[in-house]
Structure 1
Amino acid sequence: MKLSTHIKPISYLKAHAAEVVRTLEDQGEPLVITQNGEAKAVIQGIGSYEQTQETMALLKILALGTRQIQQEDVEPVQDVINRLRA
């Protein structure tokens, strides 16, 4: 995804809000909104937002697992299975 192709000034957003919302859902890519020539906000469709949040959650779980492995805070899988079955 190349954000430089998805940049619009805030005046465009004000004048074309309904079209922007439709485009966000259709394309699934975020839109950078500028004000006075500077990037000020990023908007995205709800589907894209939910996917981003799910990805972030998975990355946090992976980071936690990696940290636990590094701290040797782990158990053999067979011990866990036996405990769950009991």
Structure 2
Amino acid sequence: MKNTNDNKPVIITQNGEPRAVLQDPKSYEDMRNAIGLLKLLSQGEEDVRSGQVTAQDEVFAQLENLLRDK
């Protein structure tokens, strides 16, 4: 059995131009997860740039209050 990490995507061309990529399901899922993480990082960076941040101590205090109230 071949390791799925060894699978390379197959590029499908039309008239010599790349038109589609065929890849195994595991690689596709890994790529989607990586893109999702990159989007979260980008959103976080934008929040920092726009000043939408909360101090760590304040976040922990809010969490402690939520847990204590349950």
TM > 0.5 between the two? yes
1:36 Cα shift? 2.5
TM-score (normalizing by structure 2): 0.80
> Identity, % of aligned pairs?
33
Of the candidates 21, 44, 51, which is equivalent to residue 72 of structure 1? Answer: 51
Structure 1: gaps of 5 or more residues: 1-22
- Between stretches 51-60 and 37-46, larger displacement belongs to 37-46
Match of 1:39 among 12, 18, 21: 18
- Aligned position for 2:37: 58
Give 5+ residue unaligned stretches, structure 2.
Answer: 66-70
Matched position secondary structure for 2:54: coil
Paired letter, 2:39: K
TM-score between both structures, scaled by the size of structure 1: 0.67
Q: Which amino acid aligns with 2:26?
A: G
Q: Using CA pairs under 8 Å that are at least 6 residues apart, name the structure with larger relative contact order, 1 or 2.
A: 1
Deviation (angstroms), 1:38: 1.9
Q: Could you list the per-position Cα deviations for residues 8-60 of structure 1 after superposition, in whole angstroms to 9, with x for gaps in the alignment?
A: xxxxxxxxxxxxxxx8x462321111122221111110010000000000000
